[in-house]
């Protein structure tokens, strides 16, 4: 289904971590990018940049750049995961011992095997320096001085990553609207430099994350009963292990 109701796009969106080999229409990727740059962004700085990898060679180079050389439990091709099952999951951090490590390694392998099937990978980059330059301009300088946060930035919040995240969400939603699936994931700090080198990313740009795109290999889950796993992505992820927090736990009307 292409061109859905907005509420359907929001409800259907799940991180997709396994894809079919059906090619992604280039117009769909173009629309994801055109929508991405309509995202709200601080000072209209637009400090983002996107490296689009839509050929088998480009995608393969992405995975080889972002995979550690030697990882316990690495896949048959000897590489590990980029973002992977870790994703800062506190449960994973709490795990200890060889059994947990082996389980984590297996999960990471499954993650990588699935993610490598994505025919398109978009690396989302952002320039902190672009924001500092923008907020030194005449129409922003006074507000920046008044706000005066820590260090040389006028805010405590890294707007460069916030904005790249907003652009990424628009890409994810547009993918759903195009009948595609996508997954946003992070690149571990140890792999960022290799990624930057492989694709000649200028020093100024930081990696916010990556959006993998393709046709979902698994059918979308049925909306329905609550509890962990309900409505979770069939290709795994934290929602298979933890429930969505109820609105009344997170919304504080009129004050905390």
Residue nearest to ligand FMN (CB): 83
DSSP labels for 78-136?
Answer: S---SSTTTTT-HHHHH--HHHHHHHHHHHHHHHHHHHTT-SEEEEEEEEHHHHHHHTT
Decide whether 62 or 185 has the Cβ nearer to ligand FMN: 185
Considering only residues 73, 186, 229, 234, which one is a binding residue for ligand FMN as defined by CB under 6 A? 186
Among 47, 114, 181, 237, binds ligand FMN (CB under 6 A): 237
Does 67 engage in binding with ligand FMN (CB under 6 A)?
no
Does 233 help bind ligand FMN (rule: CB under 6 A)? Answer: yes
Question: Which residue of 179, 221, 229, 239 would you call a contact of ligand FMN, by CB under 6 A?
Answer: 239
Q: How many residues are present in the chain?
A: 256
Number of residues that bind ligand FMN (CB under 6 A): 15
Q: Which of 118, 116, 114, 120 is nearest to 29 (CA)?
A: 120
Q: What is the Cα Rg of the chain in Å?
A: 19
119 part of the interface to ligand FMN, by CB under 6 A: no
Which of 184, 191, 206, 212 is the binder for ligand FMN (CB under 6 A)? Answer: 184
Helix 159-177 with 26-36: angle, nearest 10 deg: 140
Separation of alpha carbons 10 and 8, rounded Å: 5
Binding window for ligand FMN (CB under 6 A); candidates: 11-19, 23-31, 133-141, 191-199: 11-19
Helix or strand holding residue 160 (H, E):
helix 159-177
Report, in Å, the least distance between residue 83 CB and ligand FMN.
Answer: 3
User: Is residue 113 at the binding interface for ligand FMN, with CB under 6 A as the rule?
Assistant: no
83 binds ligand FMN (CB under 6 A): yes
* Least separation in angstroms between CB 186 and ligand FMN: 4
d(CA 232, CA 218): 12
- 8 Å CB contact between 50 and 41: no
Residue numbers of the site for ligand FMN (CB under 6 A)?
14-15, 17, 83-84, 87, 183-186, 209, 233, 237-239
């Amino acid at each position: 289904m292409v061109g859905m109701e907005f509420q359907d796009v929001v409800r259907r969106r799940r991180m997709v971590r396994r894809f079919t080999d059906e090619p992604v229409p280039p117009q769909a990727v173009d629309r994801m990018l055109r929508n991405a740059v309509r995202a709200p962004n601080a000072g209209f700085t637009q400090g983002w940049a996107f490296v689009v990898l839509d050929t088998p060679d480009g995608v393969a180079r992405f995975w080889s750049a972002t995979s550690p050389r030697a990882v316990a439990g690495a896949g048959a091709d000897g590489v590990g995961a980029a973002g992977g099952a870790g994703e800062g999951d506190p449960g994973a951090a709490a795990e200890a011992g060889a059994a947990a490590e082996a389980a984590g390694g297996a999960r990471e392998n499954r993650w990588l095997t699935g993610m490598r099937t994505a025919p398109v990978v978009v690396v989302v980059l952002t320039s902190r320096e672009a924001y500092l330059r923008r907020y030194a301009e005449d129409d922003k300088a006074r507000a920046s001085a008044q706000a005066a946060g820590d260090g040389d930035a006028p805010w405590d919040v890294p707007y460069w990553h916030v904005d790249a995240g907003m652009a990424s969400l628009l890409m994810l939603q547009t993918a759903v609207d195009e009948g595609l699936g996508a997954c946003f994931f992070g690149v571990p700090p140890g792999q960022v430099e290799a990624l930057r080198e492989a694709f000649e990313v200028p020093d100024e740009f930081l990696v916010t994350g990556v959006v993998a795109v393709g046709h979902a290999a698994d059918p979308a889950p049925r909306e329905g009963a609550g509890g962990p796993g309900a409505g979770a992505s069939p290709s795994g992820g934290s929602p298979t292990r933890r429930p969505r927090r109820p609105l009344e736990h997170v919304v504080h009307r009129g004050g905390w």
